[in-house]
Amino acid sequence: MFTESDVKSIFALFPPQTSADFIPQLALASSGHGFVTLQFVQAQFRSRVVKDTERISLSALASDLDIDPNLVHQLVRNHPKLCLLSADQKNIITIDERDALREKLINLLSSGVQSKHDFVTQNNIWPKSLDALLADQDDEILNIDDFLCTNTYENTICTDITNKVKQALEGMQTISIFPGDLPGTPPVWFILRTLEKALEKEAITSQINITQHETSISCTPKQLLESRRTATISNLTSGTLAYLDLTKFAASSPEQFPTYEVATSHFQRLAEIEIIDTFAVSKPWISSIEQDCIRILEQEGCTLDVAEVIGSRLPSSIVDRVATRAKDSIISAYPAQEKIVRVGHLILTETRRNGALDELAACAKTDASAQWEDNLTNNPTAPEDLKYSRARIQALLPPANAGLVQRLLTTEKAVEKSLEAHFWTAISALEEQNEEVFATYWHDRLLARFTTYTTGLSGISDAKLAAQLADLLASHAQTELIPDTVSRARAQGMVLSRKTRKNVARLESILDPAKKIDLAGVSAALDKFSSKQNISTLSTSPDSAVLASAKQTMMNDMLRRLHKQKQSDGPVLFLTLVIVLFARRNEGVVYATGKFAPKLLKLLKGRVGESEYERLEAWKEGAKTGKLTAEDRRGMLGMAEQEAETEAETETKAESIDEAEVGN
């Protein structure tokens, strides 16, 4: 008896395995209890793979046969007509499934192109097992990289493609071959491969241009391409075609134009073509655009955007350059009697430009009036100083294209300078009117009153009193009369012109109430101000009629105030009466306060009746002590009214005499 150890020692003396497919005639049982013969193992193996209908686990079968799994693997490889291996080589595909896979593969290859990867993946078989199936095929199999098909299928596709190409040559047309147009829907790469073989077989490769697309193959007779190229170039040189993309054109004609540079060189030699960037642009086409623009200018309007006329007919990257050159040509070609000019990116007739300038000038005047009105009405949103503003002018223009020409013109320096001039011309005219209104007001409201007051001082025989009253008048003019007149003028919108504002500010600075200025200084300041404002000064050019009218107005004002006096206003009533009496007997009107009333009364002595003077003395005491009776007040008012009426009659007679003298 041999022990297990003896058996293994004896088996180790056998010759070693010489190849992966070598199967020994005698193998050591996996259990280690003995040997198994090849004949026995093969018989058991064949029995299982023929009888079993499901895939058999390789390791399980090895266990059943009491042999090493590697020996089972060798048996499967050595019997490809009986069984196959799964993709992971762990399962055995029995003969029934193996024959079914063979039939499936035959059907697939007879009707199309099959991917090896797809077949082994979908059917879970080892790639070398697929090779074993292919060895069974009667028809010769084409093995193209990872794809398979039969010679018969390839010949069928080749015949169909050849017929289509011949149709293209006979009909001189382009054909597109899609997978769906052919039996079995072969992939595009297979169509291209078969097409190239067919063209070579028919010796027509040189006659066909092939273009591969993502989903199809296009075949175009080269004669047709040449005809199209010739027609394209002809259309370009004639102006029928606007431009060519030379990059694409060269790519579509690699035999004639192998590179972009070759294509560019060819078109540069054509007189009718201009190369701009990577495009060949037709000069005749540009000329036709220029003629269209001229026709539009003549028939449809006076404003034109050449780039808009070109539109999308040229690539956007070159439209502006072509439009600029076209503008130059249009301007030079247009009849001299109707000049064409540029405004921004537009071209237009000079008549249209002049019209737009007139509209802008009107806008400048409108804005000037609006700003002036805002200042006149003390609009809080109005700017402190009047100023020209391009933005304000543009805001007055019609929106969008209706005001496009005017809006573009406002950006030109020369135009803006002209508009600013129009603006200030309009402002100057308004200022002139405003200065005239101010001059009338200043003359009547201030100069006439001030001159009447200064004239009134000439009737004061007492030098000391005259000096005191002169100082009083200077103070009144500096602190009340002039400031009040300026304030009223401002409130009524008379101090708007730049000149008036400047001169008034200067006058206010000179006559600042904080400064003590004598009457001569006040008069000099007023004379200088009037001269700058072109206002006639009554001090240097007295107008008797104006002064008389001013005096009468002042006396009427005093009478109105007398009628409104309260009982407690006795001193004011007496002062007013004395001033009226003094004015009746002297030139002008004296400006005085209550403390000067007694002194003025003394100057009236001998110039009024004795009884009147006595009444005046009595009223003076009554006013001083506050004992004026109602009868006293009526008497004082009556005397003042009588004096004022007498003064008015005297003035009327004087005016009549003056008129008579003028008539003579």
Q: Are residues 128 and 180 in the same domain?
A: no
**Distance of alpha carbon 572 from alpha carbon 564, whole angstroms:** 11
Establish if 35 belongs to a structural domain: yes
Q: Is the pLDDT assigned to residue 622 strictly greater than 70? A: yes
Q: Is the pLDDT assigned to residue 249 strictly greater than 70? A: yes
| Long-range Cβ contacts of 655-658 (<8 Å, 24+ apart) | 655/545, 655/548, 658/544, 658/545
Q: Is the pLDDT assigned to residue 83 strictly greater than 60? A: yes
**Distance of alpha carbon 416 from alpha carbon 597, whole angstroms:** 66
- Is residue 44 within a helix (H) or strand (E), and if so which, with residue range? helix 38-51
Q: What count of other Cβ atoms lies within 10 Å of the Cβ of residue 404?
A: 19
**Distance of alpha carbon 234 from alpha carbon 238, whole angstroms:** 6
Can you give the pLDDT at residue 143? 85
| Res. 50 pLDDT band, cuts 50 70 90 | confident
Rounded to the nearest angstrom, the gap between the alpha carbon of residue 497 and the centroid of all alpha carbons in its chain is 39
Q: Is the pLDDT assigned to residue 156 strictly greater than 50? A: yes
Domain's final residue, options 138, 161, 180: 138
DSSP 16: P
Q: Are residues 657 and 567 in the same domain?
A: yes
Can you give the pLDDT at residue 657? 43
pLDDT by residue (tens digit) across 569-598? 788 889 999 999 998 889 999 999 989 999
Can you give the pLDDT at residue 654? 46
pTM: 0.55
**Distance of alpha carbon 51 from alpha carbon 37, whole angstroms:** 21
Q: Residue range 373-400: average pLDDT? A: 78
| Res. 20 pLDDT band, cuts 50 70 90 | very low
| Res. 380 pLDDT band, cuts 50 70 90 | low
Can you give the pLDDT at residue 442? 94
Q: Are residues 32 and 118 in the same domain?
A: yes
Q: Are residues 26 and 116 in the same domain?
A: yes
Asked if 272 contacts 240 with a C-beta cutoff of 8 angstroms, the reply is: no
DSSP 569: -
Q: Are residues 219 and 276 in the same domain?
A: no
**Distance of alpha carbon 297 from alpha carbon 347, whole angstroms:** 9
Shortest CA distance to 475 belongs to which of 522, 530, 527?
522
Can you give the pLDDT at residue 660? 43
Q: Are residues 23 and 107 in the same domain?
A: yes
Can you give the pLDDT at residue 538? 64
Establish if 425 belongs to a structural domain: no
Q: Is the pLDDT assigned to residue 322 strictly greater than 70? A: yes
In three-state secondary structure terms, 589 is: coil
Q: Residue range 192-214: average pLDDT? A: 84
Asked if 423 contacts 396 with a C-beta cutoff of 8 angstroms, the reply is: no
Question: Tokens standing for 58?
Answer: 């390789």
Q: Is the pLDDT assigned to residue 475 strictly greater than 80? A: yes
**Distance of alpha carbon 607 from alpha carbon 290, whole angstroms:** 100
Q: Are residues 99 and 170 in the same domain?
A: no
The sheet that has 141-144: what strands, in order across it?
114-115, 147-150, 141-144
Establish if 453 belongs to a structural domain: no
In three-state secondary structure terms, 115 is: strand
Domain's final residue, options 88, 103, 138: 138
Q: Tell me the one-letter amino acid at 617.
A: E
Q: Residue range 632-653: average pLDDT? A: 75
Q: Answer left, alpha or beta for residue 311, where phi above 0 means left and psi between -120 and 50 means alpha.
A: left
Q: How many domains does the structure of the chain reveal?
A: 4
Establish if 362 belongs to a structural domain: no
- Higher local confidence (pLDDT), 664 or 198: 198
Shortest CA distance to 213 belongs to which of 187, 181, 249?
187
Q: Are residues 557 and 659 in the same domain?
A: yes
| Res. 460 pLDDT band, cuts 50 70 90 | very high
- Going from the C-alpha of 360 to that of each of 278, 363, 383, the distances in angstroms are 43, 5, 22
Can you give the pLDDT at residue 539? 61
Establish if 315 belongs to a structural domain: yes
Can you give the pLDDT at residue 659? 46
Q: Are residues 84 and 191 in the same domain?
A: no
Domain's final residue, options 115, 138, 161: 138
Asked if 310 contacts 374 with a C-beta cutoff of 8 angstroms, the reply is: no
Establish if 532 belongs to a structural domain: no
Q: Tell me the one-letter amino acid at 354.
A: N
Share of the chain above pLDDT 70, in %: 87
Q: CB burial class (10 A; 0-12, 13-18, 19+) of residue 534?
A: exposed
Q: Residue range 218-228: average pLDDT? A: 83
Q: Are residues 113 and 30 in the same domain?
A: yes
Q: What is the CATH number of the domain that holds 202?
A: 3.30.1370
Tell me which of 204-213, 233-242, 418-427, 634-643 is least confident.
204-213
Q: Is the pLDDT assigned to residue 270 strictly greater than 90? A: no
Can you give the pLDDT at residue 301? 62
- Going from the C-alpha of 479 to that of each of 475, 484, 595, the distances in angstroms are 6, 8, 19
Can you give the pLDDT at residue 521? 94
- Going from the C-alpha of 373 to that of each of 361, 366, 419, 430, the distances in angstroms are 18, 10, 19, 10
Can you give the pLDDT at residue 526? 93
Question: Tokens standing for 429?
Answer: 């005219």
Asked if 350 contacts 338 with a C-beta cutoff of 8 angstroms, the reply is: yes
Q: Are residues 201 and 253 in the same domain?
A: no
Q: Classify each residue of 541-578 as buried b or exposed e, where b means 16 or more C-beta atoms within 10 Å of its C-beta.
A: eeeeebbbbbbbebbeebbeebeeeeeebbbbbbbbbb
Q: Are residues 84 and 198 in the same domain?
A: no
Q: Is the pLDDT assigned to residue 339 strictly greater than 60? A: yes
Which domain, by its residues, includes 611? 544-664
Q: Tell me the one-letter amino acid at 642.
A: Q
Can you give the pLDDT at residue 348? 74
Can you give the pLDDT at residue 508? 93
| Res. 271 pLDDT band, cuts 50 70 90 | confident
Shortest CA distance to 519 belongs to which of 564, 482, 556, 553?
482
Which residues 6+ apart lie within 8 Å of 427 measured at CB?
A: 368, 371, 372, 386
Tell me which of 80-84, 248-252, 304-308, 524-528 is least confident.
304-308
**Distance of alpha carbon 615 from alpha carbon 635, whole angstroms:** 9
Establish if 502 belongs to a structural domain: no
Can you give the pLDDT at residue 627? 85
**Distance of alpha carbon 85 from alpha carbon 501, whole angstroms:** 112
- Higher local confidence (pLDDT), 334 or 70: 70
Tell me which of 16-30, 35-49, 326-340 is least confident.
16-30
Share of the chain above pLDDT 90, in %: 21
**Distance of alpha carbon 438 from alpha carbon 434, whole angstroms:** 6
Establish if 185 belongs to a structural domain: yes
pLDDT by residue (tens digit) across 489-519? 999 989 988 899 999 999 999 999 888 899 9
| Res. 470 pLDDT band, cuts 50 70 90 | very high
**Distance of alpha carbon 282 from alpha carbon 269, whole angstroms:** 13
Tell me which of 29-33, 405-409, 576-580 is least confident.
29-33
Please name the residue ranges forming H helices in 306-349: 306-310, 316-333
